[in-house]
């Protein structure tokens, strides 16, 4: 496989990431945990340094030059994100701490006002805990019912469940675009259309989608879309996209500075969108860094990013699948999955496997990956997960498989 992958010069891209050029435990670093958090290119790191070196000030309030520049860059990043996901207006783009907070914001502000006893919430077995637990809390509080669309043995959502579980009683459909364990790309447009047909709103976990493939919020017709900057080459900051008509009707998630227009002892009036949902001093530098990361990904081209990940995932599926006794979760067709390969071997617990990989300088994730219900469905407690991004190369997969074979030998001998 060439370093030039579907329009991406991966060798040149790797030069942009300083963290990749080091050794860990005396071995060259192999970073295969991008589904947990991605590495950051120099331009993003420099953007953070520039903020703190040159215009460190709070936003929106100050009229002096530093504050005005900080505000301009912070709001400029919002408009870049709007364009990146094709939101209709920048007022539909809300900064949060992370995708988890984005989902909780919807559960709190929309859910508590609109869900009633006997209503139903529909989610899926593929969900991260962040798209399960908030709905459990809401359903318990409102005496509503929470249902889950099932999967087949390959981690693909059952189409019949989509049709039968989403009914006239459904008020919220909360679904992922891409599973962070099985890697499954869900039929999200079908799910959204079905939800809208019965009058339900949709809350889409796009944390594993927006960084890796073109996502068009308007074409999807999603009501809410949540994702995290730290999974897309940026610092730790989150985004909630929401349709303006819905956001306008919602009460604030948190109270405090910047989300207000007026405060009196007896009452307050809220700021306009998007600031109504951005109480207090935000993550200014991190948000600016997300804007720079969006520039970086836009220059690469998200179609190219997706094509590269399909290629590297196909290679990983082939190589990992060739190791005897390894069970791979999820679809085996790389076109049906994101850049994630979770696998298990009967001889060893994934935490032990991950520690052995670390001794070889390889970063993988061992555990349930905040998706315990899916692991329960498969009858396993945990898996080892390798995940890829724009800087991943076939040689890293080769090193992974070489070490995986050593792991099997070690535990077979013991």
Active-site residue set: 370
Query: In this structure, are strands 383-387 and 365-367 parallel, antiparallel, or unpaired?
Result: antiparallel
**C-alpha distances out from residue 66 to 76, 249, 281, 288, Å:** 15, 34, 16, 14
Contact 239, 228 (CB under 8 A): yes
291 DSSP 8-state letter: H
Contact 261, 109 (CB under 8 A): no
Give the angle subtended at the CA of 294 by the CAs of 291 and 299, to the nearest 5°: 130
Distance in angstroms (rounded) separating the CA atoms of residues 296 and 72: 19
Task: Give how far the C-alpha of residue 153 lies from the chain's centroid of Cα atoms, to the nearest Å.
Answer: 24
Tell me the residue length of the chain: 414
* Residue 139 backbone dihedrals phi, psi, to 5 degrees: -60, -40
Strand partners, 385: 342, 365
Axis crossing angle, helix 284-300 with helix 42-54, rounded to the nearest 10: 150
Contact 176, 127 (CB under 8 A): yes
Residue among 308, 343, 324, 404 nearest 155 (CA): 343
For 381-401, b/e burial (b = at least 16 CB within 10 A) is: ebbbbbbbbbbbbbebbebbb
Task: Give how far the C-alpha of residue 108 lies from the chain's centroid of Cα atoms, to the nearest Å.
Answer: 20
Outline where 115-169 has alpha helix (H).
133-142, 159-165
């Amino acid at each position: 496989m060439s370093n030039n992958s579907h329009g991406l010069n991966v060798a040149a891209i790797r030069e942009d990431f300083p963290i990749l050029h080091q050794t860990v435990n005396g071995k060259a670093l192999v970073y295969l945990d991008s589904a947990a958090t991605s590495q950051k290119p120099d331009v993003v790191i420099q953007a953070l340094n520039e903020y703190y070196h040159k215009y460190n000030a709070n936003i929106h309030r100050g009229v002096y030059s530093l504050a005005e520049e900080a505000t301009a860059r912070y709001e400029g990043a919002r408009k870049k994100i709007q364009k990146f996901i094709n939101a209709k207006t920048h007022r539909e783009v809300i900064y949060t701490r992370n995708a988890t907070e984005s989902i909780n914001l919807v559960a709190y502000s929309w859910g508590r006002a609109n869900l009633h006893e006997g209503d139903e919430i529909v989610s899926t077995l593929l969900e991260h805990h962040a798209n399960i637990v908030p709905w459990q809390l809401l359903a318990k509080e409102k005496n509503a019912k929470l249902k889950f669309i099932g999967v087949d043995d390959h981690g693909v959502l059952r189409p019949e469940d989509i049709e039968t579980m989403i009914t006239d009683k459904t008020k919220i459909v909360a679904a992922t675009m891409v599973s962070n364990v099985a890697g499954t790309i869900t039929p999200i447009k079908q799910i959204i259309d079905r939800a809208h047909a019965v009058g339900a709103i949709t809350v889409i976990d796009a944390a594993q989608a927006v960084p890796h493939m073109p996502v068009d919020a308007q074409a999807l017709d999603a009501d809410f879309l949540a994702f995290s900057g730290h999974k897309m080459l940026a610092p730790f900051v989150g985004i909630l996209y929401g349709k303006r008509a819905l956001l306008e009707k919602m009460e604030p998630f948190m109270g405090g500075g910047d989300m207000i227009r007026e405060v009196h002892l007896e009452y307050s009036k809220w700021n306009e969108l998007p600031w109504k949902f951005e109480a207090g001093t935000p993550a200014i530098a991190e948000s600016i860094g997300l804007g720079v990361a969006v520039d970086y990904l836009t220059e690469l081209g998200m179609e190219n990013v997706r094509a590269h990940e399909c290629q590297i995932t196909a290679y990983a599926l082939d190589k990992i699948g060739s190791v005897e006794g390894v069970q791979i979760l999820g679809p085996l067709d790389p076109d049906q999955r994101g850049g994630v390969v979770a696998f298990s071997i009967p001889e060893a617990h994934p935490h032990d496997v991950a520690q052995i990989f670390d001794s070889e300088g390889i970063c993988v994730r061992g555990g349930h990956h905040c998706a315990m219900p899916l692991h329960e469905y498969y009858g396993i407690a945990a898996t080892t997960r390798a995940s890829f991004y724009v800087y991943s190369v076939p040689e890293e997969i080769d090193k992974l498989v070489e070490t995986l074979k050593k792991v099997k030998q070690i535990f077979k001998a013991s």
